[in-house]
């Protein structure tokens, strides 16, 4: 049975999308496919970040913070208060531009007592019930962090996950050039214990090295440090799942192509 603790979605949207710039909008609002409008069954463009919010909503996550950098005002203009997805959305401003953990830490005062569901707004994945299964795993095990793992053939673009013979997480390897590992993590659920750990990790890094901390920090770096410090971690393995990051021109083209093929087959989904 799941905990009654508040579940809050956390979505970092502070990136500059430099690999696919220039764009006419924030990357998170780039249309990938179509959605059906209730009542008249009409179709409207479906932006890429709609997919992650939709999957959160399928897991009964009704509240989420989207963390922005200055200038990305089109995101709150588009989503507003969240009525489009039957969610309650709020927006926070990022502070330091040195990696996603710094961006996520902006939400610390608002989520420190909540169960957090992390999602990236430029990544599309299957299955649809991924958050349901990850939340159920957390409730079952009481782990401080549970990762959703997906197969990938692009390890140099992902945090690759090393598993032991019992499919328990042994280590994370950040964007390795050469590896035999086949699974990456794309979603996560964590408790206040890991929220505190990340907050202290980021705060300590800033205080101990006023220059060195400006090197980009990845969430995987913090998770790996947490593993080494015996934070309780578990995972859900989506062996038949898939994931796609639209952050490069090649992957954006693939997402558009895959969705077009599914549209032609009468399938609303993607990936």
* pLDDT for 268: 47
Instruction: Give the chain's end-to-end CA distance (angstroms, integer).
Output: 30
Say which CATH superfamily domain 7-263 falls into. Spore Coat Polysaccharide Biosynthesis Protein SpsA; Chain A (3.90.550.10)
pLDDT in tens, the chain (271 residues): 555 678 999 999 998 888 888 889 999 999 998 888 877 778 889 999 999 999 999 999 999 999 999 999 999 999 999 999 999 999 999 988 889 999 999 999 999 999 999 999 999 999 999 999 999 999 999 999 999 999 999 999 999 999 998 889 999 999 999 999 999 999 999 999 999 999 999 998 877 666 556 678 999 999 999 999 999 999 999 999 999 998 888 888 888 887 776 666 655 444 4
Alpha carbon distance 101, 187 (integer Å) = 14
State residue 113's pLDDT score.
96
Domain parsing of the chain, residue ranges: 7-263
Print burial letters for 111-130: b (CB count within 10 Å at least 16), e (below 16): beebbbbbbbbbbbbbbeeb
């Amino acid at each position: 049975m799941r905990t009654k603790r508040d579940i809050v979605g956390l979505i970092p949207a502070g990136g500059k999308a430099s690999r696919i710039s220039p764009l006419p909008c924030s990357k998170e609002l780039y249309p990938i496919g179509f959605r059906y409008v209730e009542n008249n069954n009409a179709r409207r463009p479906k932006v890429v970040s709609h997919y992650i919010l939709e999957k959160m909503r399928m897991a009964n996550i009704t509240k989420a913070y989207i963390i922005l950098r200055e200038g990305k005002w089109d995101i709150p203009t588009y989503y507003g208060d969240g009525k489009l997805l039957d969610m309650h959305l709020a927006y926070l401003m990022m502070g330091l531009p040195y990696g996603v953990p710094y961006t996520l830490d902006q939400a610390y005062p608002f989520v420190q007592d909540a169960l957090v569901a992390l999602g990236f707004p430029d990544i599309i994945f299957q299955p649809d019930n991924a958050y349901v299964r990850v939340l159920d795993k957390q409730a079952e095990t009481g782990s401080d962090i549970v990762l959703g793992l997906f197969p990938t053939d692009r390890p140099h673009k992902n945090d690759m996950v090393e598993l032991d013979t019992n499919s328990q997480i042994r280590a994370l390897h950040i964007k390795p050039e050469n590896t035999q590992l086949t699974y990456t993590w794309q979603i996560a659920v964590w408790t206040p214990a890991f929220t505190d750990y990340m907050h202290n990790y980021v705060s300590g890094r800033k205080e101990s090295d006023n220059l060195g901390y400006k090197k980009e920090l990845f969430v995987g770096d913090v998770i790996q440090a947490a593993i080494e410090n015996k934070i309780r971690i578990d995972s859900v393995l989506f062996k038949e799942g898939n994931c796609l990051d639209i952050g490069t021109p090649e992957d954006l083209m693939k997402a558009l192509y895959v969705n077009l093929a599914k549209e032609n087959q009468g399938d609303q989904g993607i990936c």
